[in-house]
Every structure is written in C-alpha cells, then in structure tokens.
Structure 1
Amino acid sequence: MDFTHFMITILSGIAGTIAMTCIMYLYAVLTGIFTKVTHLLGSMLAGDENFRNPGKNSLIVGVLGHFGVGVIFSFGYFLLWNWGTFRINFQDSVLIGAASGIVAIIVWKAYFTLHNYPPKISQIHYFIALFLAHIVFGIVSVNVFQLITDNPELWYQLQDEAKVL
C-alpha cells in the first residue's frame, strides 16, 4: 500500500464513520430510542455510568474509539479488495456493509454481555440501527474511495496482469 492509498483509506473510513454516526443519531431522533454510539462506547470504555449524558472525557474516548474502528474497517475493506474478495462497486459496498453490520452486532452483543455495567438500552433497536448504519458505512466508505482514486491498482489486478505477461 502506497502513501496515497493509505491516506485515501483513512479518509474513506472517516467519511463512512461520519455517515454511520449520523444514521445512528437519526435513528435515535426518529424513534426516541437511545442509539447514540459514541455516547455508549465512550461511557462503557471510560467507566462512566451516565451513558445518556457522559462527561467530556467519555465523549472524547467514544469519538476516538468509534473513528478508530471505522478506519480499521476501511483498511479491512482495502485488504478484501486487494484479495479480490469483492469489487469496488455499489452492490458489493452494500454486501460488505451488511457483513460489517453482522460483525458489529456480534462484537457489541459480546461487549454488552461482558461489561460490568452495561447500559440499559433496547438492544434490539440498537442492533437494528447498527446494522442499517453499517450498510451506509459500507456504501459511503467504498464510494469515497472510488471517487478519489481512478485506478487503485489493487494487488489481485496486478497479479492477473503479471500472469498475462
């Protein structure tokens, strides 16, 4: 991975995380059910039991943690592109977003189960919002990557070209 693709991958992860966070917060506004991911993550990581209105430090931890995971997902997408697992297109971005949503639900369910003081929220609504938000994450992050780079020169394509020569 060259520096340009590295930076584009980070940017696409940040863009996807912004879109995902907006979906989680929009879900909370539309349903009246608490699904604010940075509040929950920050309060759980910092040990702040007031997850609906966490302190400043908890919010900072939540935002940094959430964006960090978003960038990690974006790098995972980059690896999957490079392995030829999926293409950089709309259909595959929905599929990879849905797969990411399933992974996120499993991780969050485990975290809620193992945490000493899990927040008392509607987990089913949280997981619905999380799944939908990850589909949006996949669409946005993949398409931001595609918009910025005309030819990503993915490893599997370079290997295919080398075999032809």
Structure 2
Amino acid sequence: MASAFRPSAARILASKPASAIRFLPQTRVAAFHVSQRSQILPPGPQIVIGTVNDPVPIPTSNAAHGSYHWAFERLIALGMVPLTIAPFVAGTANPALDAALGTALVLHSHIGFDACVTDYFPKRQYPKTRTFMIWLLRGATITAAVGLFSFQTNDVGLTEGIKKMWKA
C-alpha cells in the first residue's frame, strides 16, 4: 500500500506553476515493436530506361497469359471443392479420386506461389533472383508431386491419411 501514500502525477502538476512544468519530448511507440525498425534487405535497383517522355512499350497479347490463365486458375480452384468433400462423404477411398485431388492440390499451390514470385520479384528489377525463385518453385512443385504420388501408391492414400490424422 505504499503507492497510496505516494503523491499522484495530477497532484504534483497542480502544485507547480505552469511555467515550471516541463514535458518530455514525445517518443513514438508502435504496437508490438521492441526495437527500431530496420530494413532486412537493401532497396532494389532504381533503373530508369529511356526518358520520361518515352511511350510505354505495349506487350504482345497472349491469351495463355491472360484470360485462359485466369480461367484455368478458377477451374482448378472450383474443382478442388468437390474433390475435397467427395471422398469423405462417399466414405470409400478411391485411388482415382485421390490422384485427382493430389494433382489439383499441386497445381493450385504452384499457381499461387508463381503469382507470389511474379509479384515480389519483378523481372526488370531482379532478373537473376526471379530466375532462381522460379526454378526453386519448379523443384518444390516436382518434389511435392513425387511425394504425393509415393504416398498414394506406397501408403494408404491421401484421403485415408487425412482421415487417420483427423481421428488421431
């Protein structure tokens, strides 16, 4: 109860004249930060090609990178809904259904991570890093596909494995 006898900040401020009160400079405190903000990587290269008045080059149109690509992404995403639910509703492990679900999972993941590489590693600013990241993604996709194939052929299968983990 020692704090009950300690004078409060309001009582101290009220006892002093206004000219004697000095406030400390405000420091900005961000939530959940314990140290100063430091940049992990240096900023990317700032490259200006041409002059400000040059027109922007229009890329050649390619439906495979436009509307067909978008439609394929949506087809895979929509196809995963029944492929995810059907084996559990039917109650039987079907190898063809497991293979379709595994393929859809790998394709869906590859398309999503490819979009991340495209967004975060522009070809103009990071040509070597982007190439490395694309090859790393391809390797990870092949590794995941081989792992799912091995799990499907040499073990209980994808949906049966999920059922066993769910009940564990």
TM-score by length of 1: 0.30
Bigger CA radius of gyration: 2
Structure in which a larger fraction of residues adopt helix: 1
Q: What TM-score comes out, normalization by structure 2 length?
A: 0.30
Higher RCO (C-alpha 8 Å, min separation 6)? 1
